[in-house]
Copies of this chain bind each other. A is one copy, B any other.
Amino acid sequence: MRKLVGIGVGPGAEDLITLRALRYLERADHIFAPNNRGKTRAYDIVKDFVDEEKVVFLDFPMGEDLRGVYEDTARLIDETTKEGEVSVLITLGDGTIYTTLLEVFHRDSLNDIRMELVPGIPAFLAGINGIVEALVKKGDSFLLMDSLKDEEGLTADTVAILKTTRSGDTFHRLKAAGYYSLYLENIETDHWVMTDNPEKCKDRKAYMSLILARREPWNMAAILNRIGDRIEVL
């Protein structure tokens, strides 16, 4: 049997990977890691746990049509993984959420390899845990998006919008729809910052950022009292 394991390595801290992820990283025969224009964020999280000689970097340019790249990657994994071997493909956060990982896994060229995904902590979950608040209380709903399209139709009690580029504008649109927003950036890294002030985040352009919004105001004083200095408030 040949096996391919997709591993979500979480948002940024090396100790937020699971024990199962660690076990697979240590015993894998080949470790595939994305390289986006010189940034290897997923690999940076796990590099202390892996044998460097087993690592193959995959060039995934961002924002382009990558179907050909995914096909080539699937074929490379298929050719590299010999009978009895385990290959691992890592990704930031979780492999099922807005990721390219499954685009590779679902290629026909990998039809005869056994697959497994190891879930990882997604950034929105690390963010809400970081501020010790509820994502959803009993009876509430939570909506996850990668951009704010139609705020008029929003009914969810809490929403998360990933990789926000026009955060100030999004704050204002959400406010008009009855939501209170928090901007979080570089969650679970040494540069973890947050703000509830649209002026402070409107010009920030961070790939690793998100907005958490809910119908109930955030009590910043209570949040700061609980968390101490783990997160810098802008």
Contact = CB atoms under 8 A, between A and B. Distances in A.
Given A16-B20, A136-B97, A119 B115 contact: no
Interface in A103-139: 105-106, 111, 114-122, 125-126, 128-130, 132-139
Contacts of A134: 96, 99, 102
A114 B146 contact: no
Contacts of A16: 18-20, 119
A129 B230 contact: no
A141 B23 CA distance: 32
A206 interface: no
Interface in A1-52: 6, 8, 10, 13-20, 22-23
A96 B124 CA distance: 11
Interface stretch (A172-180, A192-200, A220-228): A220-228
Nearest to A99: B134
Interface residues of A, number: 62
A54 to B, nearest CB: 20
A158 to B, nearest CB: 9
B132 A117 contact: yes
* Shortest beta-carbon contacts, A-B, top 4: A117-B129, A119-B129, A96-B135, A15-B20
Given A97-B135, A115-B227, A119-B125, 11 more contacts: A6-B132, A96-B135, A98-B137, A115-B226, A116-B227, A117-B132, A136-B144, A139-B146, A141-B143, A142-B143, A153-B155
A156 B97 CA distance: 14
Nearest to A10: B18
